[in-house]
Structure 1
C-alpha cells in the first residue's frame, strides 16, 4: 500500500473517530467527585458516549474535534509510514485528542482515559514489535513510560500546586510512545512538552491574563510535545 494511501486512510479514520468525541468530552468534563454527565444542558438524557454534542440544533460540546483528530492521525501516518507501529499510534491518537479536550474544559485528566491508554499503548506497540519492519524497541518503550511517569511524579511531589496526578498518569502512555524510538526521541518529546507549557504560561503572564499561581491545562502541551517527538522519530527512523 502506498504511503499517500496510508495517510489518506489515517486522516479518514481520525476524522471519523473525531466525530464521536464531542459527546464523550462533554460527559467526562466534570469536576472531581461528580458523576459523569447523563443529560444535555437542557436536561434531555444522553444515549451512549460517542457522537455529536447537539440538542435541538444547538451545539453544547467542543467543536472541531474531527479536524484535530484527523490532522493528528494524518501527521502520524505521514511520519511513520508503512511500518507496523503506525497502526498503534494512529489508532490511539483520538483518545489523546479526547483527553486534551477534557483537560481544556475542566483541567482534569480522568483515570478512565489515562490508565487504559497507558495499557493500550504498551500492548499495541508490543504487538507491533512482533511484526516485520518495526523500527522501534518495545523494551525501550516500556522503560520510557516508567521513566517519564517517574519524572512527572517527582515534579508533582516537588510542586503539587503546579501539576496534578492526572498529568503524572498521562506521562505513562506518552513515555511509552516516545521511548519506542529511543532515548533521544524520548528526551525531545519530554522537553518539548515542558517547553510548550512554559511558553504558554509565559505568554499569559506577559499579557496580564494570569499570575504566577494561575493554573492551566497542561495535558495538551504534554501531548503536543510527545506528538512532536514521535513525528521526529518517525521521520528519522
Structure 2
C-alpha cells in the first residue's frame, strides 16, 4: 500500500480533533482558548476522547461551532497524502505528517481570526529541528537539515522585511514571517527547488486571489488579507509537485 494512502487516512481520522482545536484557538490575541459554546454558553465536552468525537455542533443549542468537520478532515487527508506520497518510507515522514496536520490547523485559525498563534508555529519549528535532525542522523547525512535551517533564515528574513515595509496591519504580519520561516525549514529540507516553488506559489496565489476580489468588489485596497493559508497552499504544491 502506498504510504500516502496510510498518511491520508491518519489525517482524515484527525479531522474532528483538528476542527475542535480550530474552534477553540480562533480567538483574539491574548484571549484564552474557548471552553464554551459562543452562542448559548454551554461548556464544551471535556476529556481527550471528546476530540475525535467532535461533530462541530453544540450539544445544547445545535449551532455550528467552528469550521465544518468534513472540510478539516478533507484538508488533513490531502496534507497527509502529500507528505506520505512524497517521502514514502523515509524516517522523516512522521515529522512531516505532524507538520502537515499542524499546517491544517494553522490555516483554519488564520481564516477565522487572521492569526497564526505562536503556540502552533513554535512547536512546529522545534519539531522540525528535532524530528528532521533525528531522521538525518539515522540516514547519516545532515545536509538536508542544514539546508532547511538556511531556508528558514532566508524565507523568514524575506517575509520579516515585507512585514516591516507595511507595519499597518494591512500587509504581512510577524505571524506570516514566523510561518514563512517554519515553511522554509521543511521545504528547504526537501530541496532548494521546493523552497523556491513553495514561496513563489503561495505569493502568486495570494496575489491572484486579491486581484479577483478587487475586481469583483468584495475587497478594496485597504482590506486586510490573511496570507497564511496561501503560504500553506504554496507549501502543499511544493510537496506534491516539487
TM-score under structure 2 length normalisation: 0.88
Equivalent of 1:131, from 126, 138, 146?
Answer: 138
1:166 CA drift (Å): 0.9
Q: State the 4+ residue runs in structure 1 displaced beyond 6 angstroms.
A: 133-136
SS where residue 14 of structure 2 aligns? helix
Indicate yes or no: 2:191 matched with 1:182: yes
1:21 CA drift (Å): 1.0
- 8 Å CA contact 2:109–2:116 kept in 1: the answer is yes
Indicate yes or no: 2:27 matched with 1:30: yes
Out of 127-136 and 163-172, give the one that drifted further. Answer: 127-136
CA distance in 1, matches of 2:89, 2:195: 22
Equivalent residues in 2 for 1:1-237, closer than 5 Å = 2=1, 4=2, 6-41=3-38, 42-46=40-44, 47=46, 50-51=51-52, 52=54, 53-56=56-59, 57-63=62-68, 64-132=71-139, 137-161=144-168, 162-233=171-242
- 8 Å CA contact 1:83–1:135 kept in 2: the answer is no
CA distance in 2, matches of 1:133, 1:226: 26
SS where residue 55 of structure 1 aligns? coil
CA distance in 2, matches of 1:133, 1:18: 35
Gaps (5+ residues) in structure 2? Answer: none
1:80 CA drift (Å): 2.3
Gaps (5+ residues) in structure 1? Answer: none
What is the count of residue pairs matched by the alignment?
Answer: 230
TM-score under structure 1 length normalisation: 0.90
1:135 CA drift (Å): 10
Q: Cα deviations across residues 1-31 of structure 1 (Å, max 9, x unaligned)?
A: x5x2x12210111011122011111111112
- 8 Å CA contact 1:125–1:138 kept in 2: the answer is yes
CA distance in 2, matches of 1:191, 1:8: 28
Out of 128-137 and 218-227, give the one that drifted further. Answer: 128-137
